[in-house]
A and B are shown apart, each in its own frame.
Chain A
């Protein structure tokens, strides 16, 4: 499978715990995006990487959220001290250069109890 892969697909955690999601983009794609989507809403932009550099973060992104892309390949999104409001689908997408088209992974669904 040469698409965007995300792990885990589902995560259930208790409030206050930390969680980490991993995204493996399409291998030649240098651009990587994280989005959050809740029921009935469109994907909400969280952050953007070009190679290993994090070039944009949403102003809505709490300081409990941190993302990395250490070698310009896979990326991780960590949420510290989770809250019930963090329950959502976390989507990763990648693209190549300026083609514009985003390729999304299947997402990681987070449920915070």
Chain B
């Protein structure tokens, strides 16, 4: 199925700093989803991007889908301790499965 690479694997920031995670594919994607998993929790859907070059915002979170639909990014402005967790991108394979990247774990220090 579709494979996606996420970078970085870990990120440690001071509260108030910005954070960005990237998701890259070698093939063109039909769409991409982002999920957040808090420590000890389960993945929670954040957003789905479908259109080339799409940019969506949710408060301090900005999601982008690349023009070629092969990459995506999640940017958090002015991180807060509540942003701690692992952020996953996920893409559909040729069938029904949604394949998840390995995630970027974000640690925010007060």
Contact = CB atoms under 8 A, between A and B. Distances in A.
B96 A101 contact: no
Contacts, number: 55
Given A41-B102, A45-B97, A45-B99, A101 B33 contact: yes
B97 A100 contact: no
A107 B44 CA distance: 13
Nearest to B44: A104
Which of B35, B42, B93 counts the most chain A CB atoms within 10 A? B42
Given A43-B43, A104-B42, A104-B43, A48 B97 contact: yes
A102 B45 contact: yes
Is chain A's binding surface mostly helix, strand, loop or mixed?
strand
Size class of the contact patch on chain B: 20 to 34
Nearest to A48: B96
Contacts of B93: 45
Contact of A103 (B45, B95, B98): B45
B109 to A, nearest CB: 20
A35 B98 CA distance: 10
B85 interface: no
Nearest to B89: A42
Nearest to B31: A100
A91 interface: yes
Nearest to A4: B42
Nearest to B97: A45
Interface string A6-33: 0000000000000000000000000101
Contacts of A44: 100
Interface in A32-53: 33, 35, 40-45, 48, 50
A102 B97 contact: no
Interface of B: 1, 31, 33, 35, 41-45, 48, 88, 90, 93, 95-103
12 contacts: A41-B103, A42-B88, A42-B100, A43-B88, A45-B93, A48-B97, A50-B96, A58-B97, A102-B98, A103-B45, A104-B42, A104-B43
